[in-house]
Structure 1
Amino acid sequence: MLDGAHGAAAADAVRLVLDFARAVGASRLIDCVCAHVDGCLYHGQASLDFVERFVSLGGRVKVPTTLNVGSVDLIHPDLFIGDPALGSAGKRLMEAHVELGCTPSFTCAPYQTLFRPRLGDQVAWAESNAIVFANSVIGARTNRYGDFIDLACALTGRVPDYGLHRNENRRAGAILELVGFEDADADQAGGIAVAAGLSLGRSCGETIAAITGLPACTSEDDLKALGAAAASSGSVAMFHAVGLTPEAPDLATATGGKDVPVATRLGPAEVSAILAGLSTVPDGSALTAVALGTPHFSLAEFDRLMPFLDAAPFAVPIYVNTGRHAWERLVADGRAARLEAAGVTVVVDTCTYVTAILRELSGAVMTNSGKWAYYAPGNLGVDVAFGTLADTMVSAKAGRVVRA
């Protein structure tokens, strides 16, 4: 590659990967089986210049490469209400990545697509929640690859052999203990997972934690929410959920047999306090919208949402972010039409906390996503109410924050 045998784009990309490997102290590169690129979200001209260079050099990714959310919904372009120039540049950035051979998935949940890696696979993934999910829930192996280096890894099919690619760095060094949640139901499990994730990010930082005491009904979507919250509030790239994730059948396996400290212990009171802290407005406050799907809504989450549509019409707009893979299924099985008839706007290719889609921001927005609640006040300047899926839907009906 360095000698140009694979083209000028690959030569440039492998130089970047080698320089990065030296910076992190890796002694060699290893093959990766796939990549997920976060750099297709427009952050300025440098984002576009970087990718256009590889396009001009005739670059092609060497491994299957999915794309994270972009700045616009290419399927529903009329949803974008921001600066047209930014929308145009964002659209071009998304298209340029596709010209490099990337799959136009445009989802922050590539693990919900056909490109989901397997246990033990070495991958080059960016996007904070996807990184945590790959390492923790799937047991694939990736470090926190950011913009630019993610594409360089995809163009070479190589990653530096360091960090979470190596067995010895994947053991838990702390314990997050949950107590008193044995009888929690499926709706409660999501909130418990979000609280555990936020606490994990704040108390453990980059230290891998083993989480004990999660409810037995904890779903993959709950673990997705846990990882997203943890990556939002801290530098978490991996956790072990004892008895639930593949590298933690028991605590001893998760820690490698070492005696590690309990960093945090959470009971019902602590979890309630953490979740209450996500809301910037009190119960009873007026709403202007409901925002769901950060990370992107799965088909299983749409299954849970559909019965709530019987309460339509709703007092405020409801936005649900999801990926194209889910959208295609919703269209095919008729659920997309039912969602539209109920006044639900399905947003594809992007997310409502990173781009201008919400029409009205004068009041609070309610969400069941810890990540959306964590970032939206700073990104959008909006007040937020956090609740379960049931809470958000009864609130959408009432037009104010109420609890199911």
Structure 2
Amino acid sequence: MEQGILIGKTPFVIVNEPNVASPKGFAAGGMHCGIKRKRPDLGMIVCERPASAAAVYTTNAFQAAPIKVTQESLGAGGTLRAVVVNSGNANSCTGPRGLEDARMMRDTAAELLGVNRHEVAVASTGVIGEFLPMDRIVGGLRQLTVSKEGGRSFAKAILTTDTCIKQAEVRLTVDGVPVVVAGAAKGSGMIHPNMATMLAFITTDARISPDMLQSLLWKATDETFNMITVDGDSSTNDMTVAMASGLAGNRTLTPDHPDWEAFSAAFLHVCRELSKAIARDGEGATRLIEVQVEGASDAKRAAAVARAVAGSSLVKTAVFGRDANWGRIVCAAGYGDPTLDPEKTEVFLGDVQVVRGGIPLVFDAGAAEAELGRETVCIRLKLHSGEGKAVAWGCDLTHDYVTINASYRT
């Protein structure tokens, strides 16, 4: 079953059972190789031809070895045939040996696939500061199989503290031919991206150059993956990789292409849904928080306000307790953009307005509490200072977050 969504005049279809291997030319798979005790911990996406590729990475100074190796691969030509991912071990802060191990992952996969080593990207997620068990990973790669139906097993293999897999897929028409955009991601804790997200992988069979794909990924990242937060921590391993096989048969996509806006909207939708899924699955979380800001002096300031409110620990705990403590919201908005005008500011909890002109309103406490109890809690701010707008996503902060992270290594 599929559901139609209209974007402007151009429809794209949301696939209810998404699969990162759906686009033409792709296959995927995952398995348990022994990094974790029982759960799947090794996955791979493979393209049957060199795919245009793009990536964004964490700006954390302690970039993990897999990021450096993936940068080497993409820097050699801008195309990829595969990406190999392990979970349970981040291969971060592991020095020269960590780099050697990441390169061994890359080279082993390349050898088994019969492709050049620079056509393979690698990613890792898990505990920082421990060496990879390379005998298990190499052995796993020799046993790992990929298929068109393997997207779900791949999505399982990349998880750490996640409680569910995260996939998205849409279909549209470009130049009269069907085009698919799909993705898979992981993320639950250590979520506060800067130029990336935890781990996300986007695939499409559209024809697009590496440069255009990189530009599109940067833009989509700024509007989606860079607008989520769980706990304020930007990981050492954050990475988003996009691959385009070009096998759909459309003319090469550029901003001048008549279907560029439709494709961009479809790509953005996949990134947005993966981002929201990460925020919704924050460690210990019970609710997704969506912060909508409009009327800022510009888009950059709107984004700063939205991220500040979504990331505020005090706002997050108030949502958990269903406490309509609007003072925490205006406080966060004020340090998000110190130039905003309090006398123009309005705040809403869902449909319940709690602040106008920077001062409180008499409101129905029961209605406000009901809004804070929804599965998705919507906080809206109207700043009346310009045309800038943005949306950010976060989650509530619960007792379980502390429990999970107090014993993460054990």
Which structure has the highest helix share of the two? Answer: 1
TM-score clears 0.5: no
Query: Aligning the two structures, in what range does the TM-score lie when normalised by the shorter sequence?
Result: under 0.3
